[in-house]
Structure 1
Amino acid sequence: MAQSHGDRLSAVDASFLAQERANSHMHVGAVLIFEGPAPAYDDFLNHIRSRLHLVPRYRHKLAFPPLETGRPIWVDDRNFNLEYHVRHTALPQPGSEEQLRALAARIHSQRLDRAKPLWETWLVQGLERGRFALISKSHHALVDGISGVDLMTVLFDATPIPQVAPHEGEPWTAAREPGPLQLAARGVKGLARLPFELAGGALSAATHPAESLDVVKEALEGIGEVAWAGLNPAPETPLNVPIGPHRRLSFVRNDLNDLKLVKNTLGGTVNDVVLTVVAGGLRRWLRARGVRTEGLELRALVPVSVRAKDQHHELGNRIVVMRGPLPVYVEDPVARLRVVRQAMDGLKESKQAVGAEVITGLEALAPPTILAQASRLQFSTRLFNLLVTNVPGPQFPLYVLGRELEDLFPVAFLPENQSLAVAIMSYNGRMDFGLLGDYDALPDLEELGDALKDSLEELVVAAGGRKPKRRRARKLEPA
């Protein structure tokens, strides 16, 4: 589907705008580390400019209908300036990864300006051992994890030789921005269509009664399971405290083969292993803080993409959320994996994801004020302790202007009263974790990263493998 001037935000996309607060920023992104020296800023700008026509949404800003007559609309930004969105900076010597994390944390501590297209990319030179980095940042209303992987095709090449874009996409002329009356009319038109959409659904049900009854039954069961989950709040932990606007970042490097070894030997999926690693790391971290873990089971909010394969090229969010268990009370790593497997298998067989998608569909029918309340309920901090998101990435090397991408650390977001989010992404045989923490609540975020490494190590050893090497940034051969 084309990303056109005048597109209305979906209910899910609009909900991410509604959830944003001064201390809770709803943007996501990544820190990407490359081998070799940074390209010249002008060359990098021209590289992006030549491909912007492939993602028109990057030139769109939000327009809000007056009096909340409808969800916001994407419109061309007539004042679009690529230099505003693509920043250029350098690390002071020695250019350590600690300095890079501090810079990325400061960037992700600042909200995006809603008067402009909702994204930024920072070109960072001066990283130690002759490397450079990119720091990306996009509002969750713009893109979710799965479509975010596809967006890399705009910036990246699969070969060291940059591919020529089909056309330069320049010059670009912005469409006229609709005025208040036009925006109001579009909002009213959208509300007026709802009865016909509902009538179309009723007609479909009348012509296929048996099929429709099965769908309704499954949907009601799903809504019931979501409601039951909501009546069982997550436990109180040091992770669930009021947060400020400032952030910390920590990187954890892993090899994908280590997680596959555990999966193949002990059973489950790679995602089951990931959740088990997170549970084991949190167990160690909580106990180091003096928190008793006996009988304690944390709850992770796990986004699940419902994007069809033929929709992977589209922007916007096609996700629902499930609440997966993190059994920090289990000491033995193999038993912990077994508990996670059984629980996740139960969730997959349950109707929780169906119920969540039905609720999302109902939100699409709601006026903006009701939608805002519903979205806050979906992300109620009573229901989970932390966000854990795992996105599969490409298993081959990627390049920007001939420079190979070495590491890709995803960055998630912190809802209100959530001081930790764990984002995981596989890429080219690696499985990198990006830990995002509130600056004041998690001064020991690095210790949590070490605990996650220890948690994977004990699983690999239990699976009969050797202790994983603590993978650091690859050293370049001296010239």
Structure 2
Amino acid sequence: MVIGMSDRLGPRDVAYLDGESLSVPHQVASIELIEPKEGFDYGAFAEHVEDRLAFVPRYRQRVRMVPGRIAYPVWADDDRFDLTYHVRRSALPRPGSMDQLLDLAGRIVSRPLDRSRPLWELYVIEGLEGGRVALVTKTHQALVDGAETVDLVQLLLDDKPEVGPTVPDLWEPQPESGARLLAGAVVDAVTSVRGLTGAARSMGGFALGRATGVAKDIQSAGIGVAQALTRRPPERPTPLSGALSQQRRVVTLQADLSDFRRIRDTHGGTVNDVILAVVTGGLRSWLMTRQESLAGVRQVPALVPVSVIDEELDATQLGSAVAPHFVVLPVAEPSPVVRLHQVSYSFEQHKETARTVSAQQLAGISGFAPATFHVIGSRVAAESEHDYLLSVCNVPGPQEPRYAAGSRLVASYPIHPLAEGHSLAIGVTSYDGQVFFAITADRDLVPDASLVGQCLSEAIDELLDTASGRRFRAPRGLRVVKNSGE
């Protein structure tokens, strides 16, 4: 069998691989806390993972380079696939604390994935207090496209404690020799614009002049992504920018979704607006604790990936359902309510020009779609050529429990990667009545990362203090946005 077009990496995915470095690994991670009913059976959980891999063959494929690099690489079956390499068992000294787990997670997400194997890992960490178990996942941004491949966490979670039906696993690795890879490249070069473009670039431009205009557009898309991934830090350093180290810190925060809804119901807007107002207030307090002059950092340009398809959404559309929205976070504004209304106004303007998906639609997608949306959101942030200092990705999740091999999911923290020159990134997921924040920070640039989480918590309390039940009268020039869901 010759490798077909569907198995060849596109220019965007190649850009993620080529633009990766030790200080900027292109991978998205998460921490899922599960609560087993009667002890945790690691063997049964590993079998559960293996069963679900049958649904998405890509998790047993690795990137193979074509000899001579005459075409883009291909996804090829890993003939030495070893589940025990990818599903790793670990433990904390009992009773393990959340701080110990986060320290371990920070070290896990700092290490790039092994390119010679399928580009994902799952760490099963036992020993947590209360008998809980942590699942720390790590997936390369080139692996998950939201169409053919969804995030592993979405595959593993069910809406019932009983494990759902499995499909017969008939997978057998198809060996791919160098000769077969070359043959596939020749076929694609003749029949595919993508193959023609890849061959032209690899041959030093010899055939580039003969490529069609469409081919040039496809090639330029890959170049645009590559340029975005290697953007330079701002010339004037800020607390949110700088040259990245090879180490990360992870800070998490959990809050009641009802508190965010209370603030929304009092002041208008959406839960997403409230979350961004909390981030704004938290950044303001953090900058002040660092004795930063707010005259120098009055606004923080932020990129917020949002869902933009308003028709019925399913798992096959996730890859094209997210687009960037840019908002200026007014960190110099002392009033928490004014900050909220300024953020709300920005999103109201966006809703008038784009089709958006409601929180209810997102929460209704099968499995645990926030996991996949966070990967897609991280790709949107990485590919943006717009100047911003912070990415904040909030994905509403289901408000009913989910289960992994019978164990109840009790917390989900999305860990976003840091783009070149960015010292912080924030992922947010609402699930089962709670809101979960995960802050990714460069270990050297933000040594006080835990303080960022504390400041966000205080920003929630600050907004709650204003939610007295009577509507706030917006200052002249600002509109109170009507409640439009979450």
Partner of 1:173: 172
CA contact (8 A) 1:90 1:124 kept: yes
Structure 1 residues 316 and 76 mapped into 2: Cα distance closer, same or farther (>3 Å)?
A: farther
After TM superposition, list the pairs within 5 Å mapping 1:65-76 onto structure 2. 65-66=66-67, 69-76=70-77
After TM superposition, list the pairs within 5 Å mapping 1:290-329 onto structure 2. 290-294=291-295, 296-305=298-307, 309-313=312-316, 319-329=322-332
Quick one: which amino acid aligns to residue 15 of structure 1? A
Question: CA shift at 1:155, angstroms?
Answer: 1.1
Quick one: which amino acid aligns to residue 9 of structure 1? L
**Counterpart-to-counterpart distance in 2, 1:67 and 1:283:** 52
Question: CA shift at 1:334, angstroms?
Answer: 0.8
**Counterpart-to-counterpart distance in 1, 2:465 and 2:388:** 30
Structure 1 residues 5 and 11 mapped into 2: Cα distance closer, same or farther (>3 Å)?
A: closer
Quick one: which amino acid aligns to residue 435 of structure 2? M
Partner of 1:20: 20
Question: CA shift at 1:318, angstroms?
Answer: 5.6
**Counterpart-to-counterpart distance in 1, 2:320 and 2:177:** 24
Structure 1 residues 128 and 242 mapped into 2: Cα distance closer, same or farther (>3 Å)?
A: same
Q: Tell me the alpha carbon deviations over residues 318-365 of structure 1, each in whole angstroms, 9 at most, x when there is no partner.
A: 644333211101110110011112223334546899xxxxxxxxxxxx
Is residue 92 of structure 2 the alignment partner of residue 91 of structure 1?
yes
**Counterpart-to-counterpart distance in 2, 1:145 and 1:132:** 27
Question: CA shift at 1:66, angstroms?
Answer: 4.9
Question: CA shift at 1:311, angstroms?
Answer: 4.9
Q: Show structure 2 runs of 5+ residues with no match.
A: 198-210, 218-223, 357-379, 471-486
Quick one: which amino acid aligns to residue 142 of structure 1? L
**Counterpart-to-counterpart distance in 2, 1:146 and 1:420:** 28
Once structures 1 and 2 are overlaid, which stretch shifts more, 322-331 or 153-162?
Answer: 153-162
Structure 1 residues 418 and 145 mapped into 2: Cα distance closer, same or farther (>3 Å)?
A: farther
Structure 1 residues 406 and 178 mapped into 2: Cα distance closer, same or farther (>3 Å)?
A: same
Partner of 1:449: 453
Question: CA shift at 1:9, angstroms?
Answer: 3.1
Is residue 10 of structure 2 the alignment partner of residue 7 of structure 1?
no
Once structures 1 and 2 are overlaid, which stretch shifts more, 419-428 or 253-262?
Answer: 253-262
CA contact (8 A) 1:279 1:326 kept: yes
**Counterpart-to-counterpart distance in 2, 1:147 and 1:459:** 41
Q: Structure 1 residue aligned with 2:442, among 435, 438, 444?
A: 438
Structure 1 residues 149 and 391 mapped into 2: Cα distance closer, same or farther (>3 Å)?
A: farther
Structure 1 residues 11 and 339 mapped into 2: Cα distance closer, same or farther (>3 Å)?
A: farther
Is residue 144 of structure 2 the alignment partner of residue 140 of structure 1?
no
Q: Structure 2 residue aligned with 1:334, among 322, 334, 337?
A: 337
Quick one: which amino acid aligns to residue 136 of structure 2? I
**Counterpart-to-counterpart distance in 1, 2:235 and 2:346:** 15
Quick one: which amino acid aligns to residue 344 of structure 2? R
Structure 1 residues 178 and 188 mapped into 2: Cα distance closer, same or farther (>3 Å)?
A: farther
Is residue 427 of structure 2 the alignment partner of residue 428 of structure 1?
no
After TM superposition, list the pairs within 5 Å mapping 1:47-58 onto structure 2. 47-58=48-59
Q: Tell me the alpha carbon deviations over residues 220-264 of structure 1, each in whole angstroms, 9 at most, x when there is no partner.
A: xxx9xxx9xx9xx79742120111111111110011222222223
Is residue 423 of structure 2 the alignment partner of residue 415 of structure 1?
no
**Counterpart-to-counterpart distance in 1, 2:281 and 2:145:** 27
**Counterpart-to-counterpart distance in 2, 1:401 and 1:412:** 25
Question: CA shift at 1:134, angstroms?
Answer: 0.7
Question: CA shift at 1:277, angstroms?
Answer: 0.9
Quick one: which amino acid aligns to residue 62 of structure 2? K
Partner of 1:345: 348
- Root-mean-square deviation (CA, aligned residues, Å) is 3.4
Quick one: which amino acid aligns to residue 257 of structure 1? S
Quick one: which amino acid aligns to residue 58 of structure 1? Y
Quick one: which amino acid aligns to residue 134 of structure 2? A
Question: CA shift at 1:188, angstroms?
Answer: 2.0
Structure 1 residues 147 and 449 mapped into 2: Cα distance closer, same or farther (>3 Å)?
A: farther
Partner of 1:256: 257
CA contact (8 A) 1:322 1:352 kept: no
Structure 1 residues 137 and 147 mapped into 2: Cα distance closer, same or farther (>3 Å)?
A: farther
Question: CA shift at 1:65, angstroms?
Answer: 3.7
**Counterpart-to-counterpart distance in 2, 1:23 and 1:135:** 20
Q: Show structure 1 runs of 5+ residues with no match.
A: 202-222, 354-374, 467-479
Quick one: which amino acid aligns to residue 296 of structure 1? R
Question: CA shift at 1:54, angstroms?
Answer: 1.0
Structure 1 residues 67 and 291 mapped into 2: Cα distance closer, same or farther (>3 Å)?
A: farther
Partner of 1:278: 279
CA contact (8 A) 2:308 2:355 kept: no
Is residue 389 of structure 2 the alignment partner of residue 385 of structure 1?
yes
Quick one: which amino acid aligns to residue 349 of structure 2? G
Quick one: which amino acid aligns to residue 100 of structure 1? L
**Counterpart-to-counterpart distance in 2, 1:352 and 1:330:** 30
Normalization by structure 1: what TM-score? 0.77
Is residue 402 of structure 2 the alignment partner of residue 398 of structure 1?
yes
**Counterpart-to-counterpart distance in 2, 1:435 and 1:396:** 25
**Counterpart-to-counterpart distance in 2, 1:425 and 1:145:** 18
Is residue 465 of structure 2 the alignment partner of residue 464 of structure 1?
no
**Counterpart-to-counterpart distance in 1, 2:155 and 2:382:** 35
